[in-house]
Structure 1
């Protein structure tokens, strides 16, 4: 019998398998690193892979273009390194020793040059980061340089580079390798957020929640803003929405600010990987309440998931943003809401994730602020979300949607001046595992379609949707009714109870059937009790 040969593992055949394979490989690198350092290492590697792939892709395109013009190899070599040929196409310049092919070839260490000791892969990656930042001023100070620390396993780092190098980031006939790297980056962000628990919530909003905001607001042109942008998920989802609806991403300009330095760096890399221009991202991290980096701009759309119920925040007593009342020191919820309202252009709209308490709290003057906002007719829709959507917090959450103009013709054919739509979506979603819920595509569509039907949006007209109240799910209410409820905005208060499904069985027949079933169960219980008594009697 011939000796058995070890079967080589098959290459990942689907995008899910590829992402899972890369995650398992990356997870082996963790070692003694803390979660935030480990996250920087892995996301930095993905970014290096992205910029290198994009550069090589553009380099081959330039070579083909010049060859078609009749140039020989010598002439091509003189022109192919012109930075403008890359930067002008939104591609970062990547020097030779920062390219992935160079790193992969030397993943096991370089031989010593003269008296110098051999370089390990961590040193090479650090140098690659420096080279990329040096060649691209917009990336200055953005990329991590932490690979050469003692707690980074150099052998596993080399193996991870090998795996990234051999992974097939391509689709036959659709997209580019860097599109798939964008998917991997998002996947890793989600995995890191889950691994870090509460801290992960600082930079990651569950994708299904972001999709609800984007699908309701439909941002296809103008300025899109996030005052606490985390890793940039709102902008990435906006770009996807535009792409899915065959729009032009260039019609949208993004503006963002982030208070955490590491998270700001993640956002810069995330936007670059997705090919989204980040000139509107603040050029450094900073507290939005202390200094608004976009103070002079008004926005067409605001999408935000501010940190919930912040007690320690910088509050200026005199601030032009506090139009509807000074928010309390011990909770920043209504500071975020008023900041967002202050940014809206005359026809602007906003979607904001908030803790449920914001809908009904009357403490520290919050009820008065909410009442003034409602009376100003700025609230267009309130959505109560199901629990467990956020692994990082057990706080129940809701969505506030604002609109500066609800009249007919202002992004909708139906005049909704003086009205608010309430949607109770607490029964939607499915459990991903025992700890986390997610909204399915049909759940997201149900919420968005309901809003657009209510508003008479073009998308609803195209689908033939017409709005009507659905007991237990949605209802439209006038401001007078909301005032009568002390300006509480909890959807469950207004949508009522859902109608019981009529199964067609007459009531008298149903009562008789259920009564007979009950008697039958009681008889069975009595028989089982008698058998049990007899068995116990034999034992004693």
Structure 2
């Protein structure tokens, strides 16, 4: 399944499911977990069928009969065995009136509604997986049989049998993303935007060892790490050990389901014992190879005595008020992330922008951090990267195993002006922009071979070895010609064919625009770093030593070091663009006048 088909499948599934939500009078918060549970069950069934087919290939026979598959066969292949009553096909094909089917649940109870049958299926799945016990949703009786049956049919799409676990995981993440936008009351805390997660994972480059996320939400750090490790040819479950803490049990359930959909196993603790301010739930202080997290920002009223008793504060407590409370817990989190690392560990986390130069005790702790030599990379992120809040943030990276050549240095990247606009309220880094930012880190670390591999990848995707600037120019010219051709073709087409002709050209223009974007990103990178030597770029990046940081009173704000970039010519002809805007305005005015004339005639006909 290509990317275009997958995007359509994601959108179609979401549109169908959300349409039912709108008609059910349920809130997104109520609807989220049950829908994700059904999506999980659908994934488990696809995986079950695939693994069963593999098992039966070499299945021994006894007295001419193939031995039946058993739960242990599936465990050997890291898959969940599904009893018949938990298989998706069974649920979809139940009779309309479930009560008349005389069904009996796993505990011997009669099942009189479809909701009860699906709850029973979830219990049967949990019985097959220790990691999922008490995790899957079992509140399907809040749906009418009609609504639940329709939901089951939506996810019975045959296309879901044709995609692998990675794709199914992407669809699950797509739904998580959509719910995060809708559940504004939760402030989207269970879902860290994927570009930020990928940036953290790409910089840390996890391969093996212990990974802790002590504010794990829905588990995006684990999932992306799994993808990163698997892409290297290793199996994440064999090389990585995942630990998570998540105070909100609802979010921890999402995390465990998310990990299961991606074929990952881990130990996730939730509830009061997982309140990181007061508990090291896994006893991992000083033992982690990797720390990744997006903790809640600016938390107040943390009990200082309890926090101090829980330890993991190598630089002491942040400021304490007269009520013996910590008024801002940002530096508690920062201290924890450093303390959890072993002697060669790396940490990457999201933090409020204000923490890079906050004063008082925060500044003292920050100074102590800088003086360890383990602060590695600091990245400023612009507005609108989160789904429900527009504030900027920063990414912090520690590395206790830094090469001696950069032991005294910190790489600052100001990426506030480097992003792609998704819509009015959301920005992101594309895959190519993530690679470019990562390339700056490679060059800072002296990993020049990775930079050259990326240049080769650009040339391969673009299908040309010409200089990137030349390719951008040629593609721009092709785009101008294609737009002119499209305009003429639409104008010349019969009235009934205009929409189809326009749609065909829109598709061609979109495909060319995608290639042009890749060329522009390649040129952006090559213009700055050419043949693979790191250099400070005004307004973008700078490597500063500890003496420079001390001069700036230990601020870790990238903008304080990189300076301001000169204003670049965006290549737009001002007069030509103003003429286009004028023509668009005249066209809109004409449409408005026609619409007003139509309304006036209709009102006269109605005698108004």
Q: State TM-score, norm by structure 2.
A: 0.74
Q: 2-side partners of 1:212 and 1:338: how far apart?
A: 21
- Is the 2:131–2:265 contact (alpha carbons within 8 Å) kept by the matching residues of 1? no
Q: 1-side partners of 2:265 and 2:293: how far apart?
A: 19
Q: 2-side partners of 1:388 and 1:317: how far apart?
A: 35
Q: 1-side partners of 2:102 and 2:533: how far apart?
A: 78
Task: Say whether residues 1:199 and 2:189 are aligned partners.
Answer: no
Cα deviation code 1:418-461 (max 9, x no counterpart): 11111111111121111111112222112111111101137536
Instruction: Give every structure 1 segment of 4 or more consecutive aligned residues whose post-TM-superposition deviation is greater than 6 Å.
Output: 114-118
Deviation at 1:485, TM superposition (A): 0.9
Q: 2-side partners of 1:64 and 1:487: how far apart?
A: 64
- Is the 1:107–1:121 contact (alpha carbons within 8 Å) kept by the matching residues of 2? no
Aligned length in residues = 475
Deviation at 1:201, TM superposition (A): 2.2
Among residues 477, 480, 488, which one is paired with 2:555 in the alignment?
488
Deviation at 1:404, TM superposition (A): 1.1
Which residue does 2:523 correspond to in 1?
none
Select the structure that is richer in helix: 2
Which residue does 2:261 correspond to in 1?
273
Which residue does 1:475 correspond to in 2?
542
Q: 1-side partners of 2:4 and 2:563: how far apart?
A: 49
Q: Helix, strand or coil: the match of 1:157? A: helix
Change (3 A) 1:478 1:136: closer
Task: Say whether residues 1:286 and 2:274 are aligned partners.
Answer: yes
Deviation at 1:71, TM superposition (A): 4.6
Deviation at 1:265, TM superposition (A): 0.6
Deviation at 1:302, TM superposition (A): 1.1
Deviation at 1:289, TM superposition (A): 2.0
Task: Say whether residues 1:91 and 2:79 are aligned partners.
Answer: yes
Q: 2-side partners of 1:333 and 1:120: how far apart?
A: 48
- Is the 1:214–1:241 contact (alpha carbons within 8 Å) kept by the matching residues of 2? yes
Among residues 418, 421, 434, which one is paired with 1:444 in the alignment?
434
Task: Say whether residues 1:262 and 2:254 are aligned partners.
Answer: no
Among residues 296, 300, 303, which one is paired with 2:289 in the alignment?
300
Deviation at 1:465, TM superposition (A): 2.8
Deviation at 1:181, TM superposition (A): 2.0
Q: 5+ unaligned residues in a row in structure 1: which ranges?
A: 1-11, 409-414, 504-516, 518-540
Task: Say whether residues 1:112 and 2:100 are aligned partners.
Answer: yes
Deviation at 1:107, TM superposition (A): 6.3
Change (3 A) 1:143 1:206: same
Deviation at 1:392, TM superposition (A): 2.1
Deviation at 1:381, TM superposition (A): 1.1
Among residues 192, 209, 219, which one is paired with 1:232 in the alignment?
219
Deviation at 1:158, TM superposition (A): 0.6
Q: Helix, strand or coil: the match of 2:124? A: helix
Deviation at 1:118, TM superposition (A): 7.6
Q: Helix, strand or coil: the match of 2:394? A: strand
Which residue does 2:411 correspond to in 1?
421
Which residue does 1:360 correspond to in 2?
357
- Is the 2:278–2:310 contact (alpha carbons within 8 Å) kept by the matching residues of 1? no
Which residue does 1:156 correspond to in 2?
147
Which residue does 1:130 correspond to in 2?
123
Q: 2-side partners of 1:115 and 1:145: how far apart?
A: 17
- Is the 1:197–1:392 contact (alpha carbons within 8 Å) kept by the matching residues of 2? yes
Cα deviation code 1:347-392 (max 9, x no counterpart): 11111100100001114x1111111111122211111111111122
Which residue does 1:381 correspond to in 2?
377
Among residues 199, 217, 222, which one is paired with 2:209 in the alignment?
222
Q: Helix, strand or coil: the match of 1:201? A: coil
Q: What does residue range 324-473 of structure 1 map to in structure 2 within 5 Å?
A: 324-328=315-319, 329-363=326-360, 365-408=361-404, 415-457=405-447, 460=450, 463=453, 465-473=532-540
Q: 2-side partners of 1:115 and 1:380: how far apart?
A: 60
Task: Say whether residues 1:21 and 2:18 are aligned partners.
Answer: no
Task: Say whether residues 1:48 and 2:115 are aligned partners.
Answer: no
Change (3 A) 1:320 1:227: same
Q: 2-side partners of 1:502 and 1:94: how far apart?
A: 60
Deviation at 1:113, TM superposition (A): 4.9
Q: 2-side partners of 1:369 and 1:349: how far apart?
A: 19
Q: 2-side partners of 1:115 and 1:308: how far apart?
A: 49
- Is the 1:226–1:255 contact (alpha carbons within 8 Å) kept by the matching residues of 2? yes
- Is the 2:247–2:270 contact (alpha carbons within 8 Å) kept by the matching residues of 1? no
Among residues 189, 194, 198, which one is paired with 1:211 in the alignment?
198
Q: 2-side partners of 1:97 and 1:352: how far apart?
A: 42
Q: 2-side partners of 1:482 and 1:164: how far apart?
A: 54
* The 10-residue stretch of structure 1 (235-244 or 453-462) with the greater mean CA deviation from structure 2: 453-462
Deviation at 1:472, TM superposition (A): 1.0
Q: 2-side partners of 1:500 and 1:390: how far apart?
A: 27
Which residue does 2:31 correspond to in 1?
38
Deviation at 1:140, TM superposition (A): 1.4
Deviation at 1:267, TM superposition (A): 0.6
Deviation at 1:323, TM superposition (A): 1.4
Q: Helix, strand or coil: the match of 1:21? A: helix
- Is the 1:107–1:161 contact (alpha carbons within 8 Å) kept by the matching residues of 2? no
Which residue does 1:323 correspond to in 2?
314
Q: 2-side partners of 1:167 and 1:255: how far apart?
A: 35
Which residue does 1:167 correspond to in 2?
158
- Is the 1:190–1:204 contact (alpha carbons within 8 Å) kept by the matching residues of 2? yes
Which residue does 1:511 correspond to in 2?
none
Change (3 A) 1:153 1:333: same
Q: 2-side partners of 1:177 and 1:110: how far apart?
A: 32
Q: State TM-score, norm by structure 1.
A: 0.82
